[in-house]
Structure 1
Amino acid sequence: MVGVGMFMDILDTVEPLLQDANSRALFDLQKCKLLGKFIKTRRSPAWPTIPTHNLPPKDLADTLVGIYLRTFEACTRVFHIPTFKRDYEALWAARAPPDMAFVIQLKLVLAIAAPMYDDEFSLRASAIHWIYEAQTYISEPDFKARLSLPHLQTIILHFMAREVVGVEGGLIWISVGGLIRTAVYMGLHRDPVNLPMRSNFVCEMRRRLWNTILELALTTCMAAGAPPLLSLDDFDTSPPGNLDDEDLASPDPIAKPLNQPSQMSIALALRSMFPVRLAISEMLNGIGRHATYEETIRLETELRRQYKGISKTMQAFDGDSASLPNKFQTQALDFQFRRSLLALHTAFFVPALTQERYAFSRRVVVDTATQIWAAARPRSGLVLSHLRDSVSDDYVRLAKNGHGTLRQIALSAVLLLAGELKAQIKEDDSLGPVVLRRDFLDILDDAIEWQWETIEAGEVNTKGFLFLKLVKAQISGFMEGLSRDQFAPRYVRAAEEAEERCLAFLESQVGLEQEDLRADLQGINEMSVNSFPDFMDFDFSMNYPMAFDLDMTDPKAWLGGID
């Protein structure tokens, strides 16, 4: 990842320093890792986790269902909402045990909404339990009986829940391949007009689910930095109609013009950008492809053209319409646009620091990264106070509490902005004072606090917090004009302060009531630093410029989860 790569000099410097027996940072890091694993194990239920009909209180479930419907469901359509609401209310009124298939779907809906319920992610353990129940249910070897639209809905919800809650979310791209093949086997890749006659309702639901599967395939391959393994020639299913869910009750619904809002507006906007976003992924992640600058500019021009048309259409929507997209939905759409834009130009960010030819990419990366961070963290000072109401609380909580792409890209944006700040300092050769972007310095400080808040909300990986502290120490040293030898003690002090704070917090969460855990922690104190794996033995060289996911499956991707 380019953002991390710009700070490889920190890693090269810190590694030998922290191998010094006088430094506590390495010991504390190992303790944090042990405590993190213990916490994750304590959160995880037994396997297999047998599905039950147990649900949270209805008022809590009502709140979580409302969050899901106003956020994820509008962007990646899974349900026919009136049918879902009918079944949901019937579940609470029924005297007999409800259908387990629907209970599992409902629990996954609750899990997806859980990170957005409050600032502390207080429902994390419950969300993990619901996902484990769903995994057990899905794993039952009754394959043919599961070739149905409801089963596809369950699989899609399961993938979304795993990503946002952080249950092996980095492996979803692998599993999505099976989902695509299941959908193709069921004929969803063919438009219903080419298949035996079905009701308009079923035809639209098939189009909606295929549309969502396409979006999952694209976004997960971007997160994994992997080829999409899907092309426009692999399907002929038309986009869903611009219809509200109530319209599907009609025997022959008539789709609205695209300049009129509906419950499909966001999903259709994403679909309209799908071909160019797919082309971006193919260029950056495809085998044997080389991202030329000319092709980059061509794709960027097309992406901007598409997005500008979408924005213009949505800005003209009738403000009184009940189907008007809400703040979360428009922010999610904007994020997908900026994510693709950032991916296109990040590959040229470092060359742009020395080659004028790529100066445009440098400006695009800086502007786009700033916008991504401002949306995820509106209180950072980048957003005027009277405009902060335009940012969704759901979106902000998802960025902080969720383990999905939004949080990963937000952190990547900070690292790119820190890289720009470092470049500005090193480029200055004037006799006068160095003039820096104060907002970038504020972003870095705010990102450190943001990383700490993720730990307070239950994140057990402390390495991201540590790395940002080291980045801040380096940039502060450059600003103060430190000599090369003066950086070493500053790095050690920053590392020790970061890990000491993290260790104290994790110990308070665990309570150290386990005898074996206390013994293991004491054992770390008695170990030689030479018995630890190299602290900075991490490979940051990524072949995929698109691969912003800090939770990569490679165990060397140390900013990701500790598994």
Structure 2
Amino acid sequence: MDSGKSPTSAHSSVHSPGYSSIVGASSRSVKRPRPVKSCLECRKRKLKCDRAAPCSQCQKAQRACRYASEGERVSPSDGSDAEAPDRPSKRNCALTTGRDSSRHDSHYATILEEHAARLDRLENQMLPRDPSVEESGSARSQRPAASSLTIRGLTVKGGLRTRFFGQSSTRVLVNLFDEAKEFMFTRNKSSDIREMFLNIQKIHKALQEEHRKVAAPLTVFVDSVTPIQKRMADVLPSRSVCDTLLSVYVTASETIYRVLHIPTFTQQYNRYWDGSPQPDSFLPQLLSVMCVGYRFLAAGKGQFHDRDGIHIPTASSLVRTWLDTLRGKQLVEFSTLQAEVLQLMAQRMINPQNQESWTHLGLIVRMAMTMGLHRDPSEFSHKISPFWGEQRRRLWYAIVELDVHLSMQCNLPCCIREGDFTCLPPRNLDDDDIYPELEELPPSKPIEQNTDSRIQVFAANTLAMRFKVVELINRTDSLHDYQQVLDIGSELERVFEDVRYIAPPFHSSELKEMRRAWVTRVVLDMHCRRPLLALYRPFALSSPDAPQQIMTGYLRSSMILLSYLDEYDPTSPDYQHVWHMHQLVLKQDILQAAFSICYYMKQANNNGAVSPRLAGAGPEIKAETVEESCALASESSVILSPRRLKNAVQKVLDTMLKRIREIDTDLRDIVSLTVVFNTCQGGTPEEKREAIKRGVQAILDAGLQSIHTNQENISSMPVGRKSRFLHILPSTCC
């Protein structure tokens, strides 16, 4: 980093040398004119052109692709296509050209046109508009039509109790399917289907009651007057079990969320079992680590207290009690902040409610800021040791990652925004490379080299893009065109290429190495795939004029997210463990992808046979309706073929039925997806009704098996008047 660069600007740039060499975040000035090879549109937008006719970039954006004719003068300041990733930004190009007037006189016109266009856009946004002009259709820019029914929702009970739901909620996604909603809302169901819904409602209530009992802490520990440290020690399992759970936690969680320095924590762990006294914060941290590890171990719901496990609700409650008793200087200790973050992760293992976690995370963010973690350690006059400075960076970026993820899931603003902090990203180093007595940090290793912090370092350098996504999806109503959405989407798509480069498919006889390589690739891809889906979703699922790039890109990303496990060997001894972690971490993402695929299936079926204009057409043909766009997207490649789409959703339903007893599985989601899926496959009304009936019966059978009862017993159970079952099935509550 240049010595003259401010901390704020330093944060916005890429700090890892290895990462810079891959994604080309650094820029350099063009030294000499180069021959024109790219199309004019790619040169204008600073995109990498494949020099086809038409090129792929123009095909995606539905633009006319034109190359400079022989003898036509083109500005030489844009540089060569071979250096596309290293080109300076548009603004820097303009400024550099303006300085050298003797060489680039011909470029003045381009600069003036660019500034004029910017001024027009600024006036268009800031000055009041003439309603008559807008109604006549002559306005220069219009807001993309994204229906509020597919962006947000609000439940109101009693006029005072309300809850906000964002675009990723099942309640909002169901609004896309009028036929399915009508079927679920109508009170005129046939007696057989009505009885099945009533029985599913009873099963839902029984499972909810079981989950409430299992998730309740044990009062013998929580209400005891025994000192809190003694109670926390009493709920720990045996040493051998703790060894296993600690190993699982390190492998599964200390990847993008770096909270602990593993060698230091391991030393404390060994000394604790040897009988040596440890800091008061150690047991709370260890209990939270055990909770997360036990939930990742595929040990059922991970809620039962026995010799081989830990009772997660009790352990989490004791940790919360300890944290609530801290006062004064204890609240600004680094170990206390670590315990807060770990306790949040443990609590999400019991009650994965994103909005509650988002609220709690706001307190953690402000706690971290009062400790100065949002500023880089090098800025303070009181010198912070290199080791603790790096630990502060790791923990700060773990908190920021949680903030971005939960904000996207809740469709709510981030507590932290770009520019609110100057803390530099951590270095790509192994935990063994740093220790408390270290006098100077070693240089960061190349990003293609695997280390303990590699995933976090890579993700930290994509934060700027993901911050923009969270900002855009929270002001969708104010957008006046698709350009911002397309630009950020293109940036994220390029990150996927970097992921494939630095973490290619890996095959080894070593089971541990195979799993580590797979986890690295999936976690890196997932944390950029999620924001891309959140960015595209409001337009891909509701805007009739959304560009084909959004329609196809959204469907492709949904299918890729559902295909992560396809590359993992199902005969591997640890396949079930990996499968469990996959379902646990991506549960909500998988559900959203399944609903989205159903939407594409419905629109493609509504379009019937592909129109002659689209039949055999390439991607450069622009669809005029949302039905044609979905049909074109679903036929653009093998992975997006209608048969693959149908099989993908059916696989999701089968998996949800297998996990029907899981603490984070909701029968309402399964019923909603079943009805939606079977109404989107086409056919006559009678065929759809029979398909729904078979799907609901499968849910009923799985539910009866999960509560160990039969059809006769469940039918005799009473139904409460104020049932909390499907909000979208009010007819089952009467």
TM class, shorter-length = 0.7 to 0.9
1:184-203 counterparts in 2 under 5 A? 184-195=369-380, 196-203=382-389
CA distance in 2, matches of 1:41, 1:536: 18
Q: Which residue of 2 aligns with 1:109?
A: 289
How many angstroms does 1:243 deviate by? 2.1
Asked if 1:5 corresponds to 2:175, the answer is: yes
How many angstroms does 1:493 deviate by? 6.0
Asked if 1:251 corresponds to 2:439, the answer is: yes
8 A Cα contact 2:657 2:699, kept in partner: no
How many angstroms does 1:428 deviate by? 1.5
Amino acid at match of 2:269: Y
Q: Which residue of 2 aligns with 1:223?
A: 409
How many angstroms does 1:135 deviate by? 1.9
1:34-45 counterparts in 2 under 5 A? 34-43=205-214, 44-45=216-217
Asked if 1:338 corresponds to 2:539, the answer is: no
How many angstroms does 1:193 deviate by? 1.3
Greater share of residues in helix: 1
Greater RCO structure (CA 8 Å; 6+ sep): 1
Alignment partner of 1:455: what SS? coil
Q: In 2 relative to 1, CA 392–21 (structure 1 residues): closer, same or farther, beyond 3 Å?
A: closer
8 A Cα contact 1:262 1:324, kept in partner: no
CA distance in 1, matches of 2:253, 2:647: 31
Alignment partner of 2:254: what SS? helix
**Match 2:340 to one of 151, 155, 162:** 155
CA distance in 2, matches of 1:535, 1:74: 37
1:90-105 counterparts in 2 under 5 A? 90-94=271-275, 99-105=279-285
Moved more, 99-108 or 180-189: 99-108
Alignment partner of 1:82: what SS? helix
**Match 1:180 to one of 357, 365, 379:** 365
8 A Cα contact 1:345 1:361, kept in partner: yes
Asked if 1:416 corresponds to 2:593, the answer is: no
How many angstroms does 1:29 deviate by? 3.5
Asked if 1:140 corresponds to 2:301, the answer is: no
Note the alpha carbon deviations across 1:534-558, whole angstroms, 9 max, x for none.
976449xxxxxxxxxxxxxxxx9xx
8 A Cα contact 1:191 1:236, kept in partner: yes
CA distance in 2, matches of 1:365, 1:460: 25
**Match 1:505 to one of 677, 691, 706:** 706
Moved more, 322-331 or 442-451: 322-331
Q: Which residue of 2 aligns with 1:482?
A: 684
Asked if 1:469 corresponds to 2:660, the answer is: no
Superposed CA RMSD: 3.7
CA distance in 1, matches of 2:198, 2:281: 47
Q: Which residue of 2 aligns with 1:131?
A: 316
CA distance in 1, matches of 2:313, 2:462: 33
How many angstroms does 1:439 deviate by? 1.7
8 A Cα contact 2:175 2:181, kept in partner: no
Asked if 1:348 corresponds to 2:539, the answer is: yes
Amino acid at match of 2:347: R
8 A Cα contact 1:25 1:500, kept in partner: no
Asked if 1:328 corresponds to 2:519, the answer is: yes
Q: Which residue of 1 aligns with 2:582?
A: 399
Alignment partner of 1:53: what SS? helix
Amino acid at match of 1:499: L
8 A Cα contact 2:656 2:665, kept in partner: no
8 A Cα contact 1:266 1:325, kept in partner: no
CA distance in 2, matches of 1:291, 1:131: 46
8 A Cα contact 1:240 1:268, kept in partner: yes
Asked if 1:211 corresponds to 2:382, the answer is: no
8 A Cα contact 1:204 1:240, kept in partner: yes
CA distance in 2, matches of 1:397, 1:173: 24
Amino acid at match of 2:291: A
Which consecutive unaligned segments of at least 5 residues does structure 2 have? 1-166, 306-310, 613-630, 636-640
Amino acid at match of 2:488: L
CA distance in 1, matches of 2:275, 2:648: 52
Asked if 1:85 corresponds to 2:305, the answer is: no
Q: Which residue of 1 aligns with 2:16?
A: none
TM-score, normalised with respect to structure 2: 0.63
Note the alpha carbon deviations across 1:296-333, whole angstroms, 9 max, x for none.
1111122233443454344599x999999632132111
Note the alpha carbon deviations across 1:375-434, whole angstroms, 9 max, x for none.
1xx3xxxx367698699765531232x3x5x210011111111222222222123699x9
Amino acid at match of 2:217: P
How many angstroms does 1:57 deviate by? 1.9
Amino acid at match of 2:181: L
CA distance in 1, matches of 2:264, 2:181: 54
CA distance in 2, matches of 1:428, 1:119: 47
Alignment partner of 1:469: what SS? helix
Amino acid at match of 2:391: M
Moved more, 388-397 or 262-271: 388-397
1:414-563 counterparts in 2 under 5 A? 414-429=594-609, 437-459=642-664, 461-476=666-681, 478=682, 481-483=683-685, 487-488=688-689, 491=692, 494-495=695-696, 498-499=699-700, 501-508=702-709, 522-524=717-719, 531=721, 537-538=727-728
8 A Cα contact 2:539 2:550, kept in partner: yes
Give the greater-gyration-radius structure (CA).
2
How many angstroms does 1:61 deviate by? 1.4
Q: In 2 relative to 1, CA 457–351 (structure 1 residues): closer, same or farther, beyond 3 Å?
A: closer
Q: Which residue of 2 aligns with 1:546?
A: none
Q: In 2 relative to 1, CA 492–91 (structure 1 residues): closer, same or farther, beyond 3 Å?
A: same
- Pairs aligned (count): 510
Q: Which residue of 2 aligns with 1:551?
A: none
Alignment partner of 1:74: what SS? coil
Moved more, 360-369 or 464-473: 464-473
Alignment partner of 1:255: what SS? coil
CA distance in 2, matches of 1:430, 1:299: 31
CA distance in 2, matches of 1:501, 1:385: 27
Q: Which residue of 2 aligns with 1:370?
A: 559
Alignment partner of 2:419: what SS? helix
CA distance in 2, matches of 1:53, 1:398: 28
How many angstroms does 1:104 deviate by? 1.6
CA distance in 1, matches of 2:383, 2:279: 28
How many angstroms does 1:114 deviate by? 1.9
Q: In 2 relative to 1, CA 148–371 (structure 1 residues): closer, same or farther, beyond 3 Å?
A: same
8 A Cα contact 2:249 2:289, kept in partner: yes
How many angstroms does 1:450 deviate by? 0.6
Q: Which residue of 2 aligns with 1:549?
A: none
Alignment partner of 1:413: what SS? helix
8 A Cα contact 2:218 2:314, kept in partner: no
Q: In 2 relative to 1, CA 458–160 (structure 1 residues): closer, same or farther, beyond 3 Å?
A: closer
8 A Cα contact 1:227 1:286, kept in partner: no
Alignment partner of 1:241: what SS? coil
8 A Cα contact 1:115 1:124, kept in partner: no
How many angstroms does 1:265 deviate by? 0.9
Q: Which residue of 1 aligns with 2:453?
A: 264
Q: Which residue of 2 aligns with 1:544?
A: none
Which consecutive unaligned segments of at least 5 residues does structure 1 have? 513-517, 540-555, 557-563
CA distance in 2, matches of 1:463, 1:387: 30
8 A Cα contact 2:232 2:287, kept in partner: no
